[in-house]
Copies of this chain bind each other. A is one copy, B any other.
């Protein structure tokens, strides 16, 4: 392998190993020795790529944020329906939390904000911004009632999803996450859409279950 490619492969191995131990132990209990053992690299290689545990944690959060937010940027490009995009994004992020250790570790580290000296407002802010744009589109498309404050709604949806996935982790190790995301939409949809449109959006939300 060319030298630069090899360096990138090593960096990716370290990041993945770090995600595995951050996901398992959290920030405080993770040591760089754990990361070295998990990723099977040398201490020298680790320090070549990352200067500290904090540096590693930031890299995991950035990688997770890219993995999770990229699909939402794609939905913004689409001409597709605003509300459908939001529901599918929530199912997509839940699925990533189940399947991808980097996403799990990134979300855990973001929740532990402050424990490593940084307030992780940016990831939440980007989510709220994307959801608000999609909600505005859903209002224009006649799917979401016009008398709703979409900024407040976007912020609530991001907060609610954050708490729902946290409780699912605490209670069931996320086994019931897709079911809980479906519940969230079952509860929210009657407030957001007209009775005529309810069955359509319920069907989209029920994909959460059939995926699970």
Contacts and interface: CB of A to CB of B under 8 A. Distances in A.
Most buried by B among A153, A155, A187: A187
Contacts of A183: 149, 152, 155-156
B125 A186 contact: no
Contacts of A160: 156, 159-160, 163-164, 184
A191 to B, nearest CB: 4
Interface stretch (A58-66, A83-91, A112-120): A112-120
Nearest to A158: B167
A7 interface: no
A159 B166 contact: yes
Contact of A163 (B117, B159, B170, B187): B159
Given A29-B117, A125-B171, A156 B164 contact: yes
B191 A167 contact: no
A45 interface: no
Contacts of A158: 163, 167
Q: Is chain A's binding surface mostly helix, strand, loop or mixed?
A: helix
Nearest to A182: B152
A121 B171 contact: yes
A195 to B, nearest CB: 12
Contacts of A149: 183, 186
B180 A167 contact: no
A111 interface: yes
A26 interface: yes
Contacts of A114: 25-26, 108
A161 interface: yes
B187 A28 contact: no
**Ordered nearest first, which 10 A-B pairs have the shortest CB separation?**
A163-B163, A28-B28, A162-B163, A159-B163, A160-B160, A159-B164, A190-B191, A191-B191, A159-B167, A26-B115
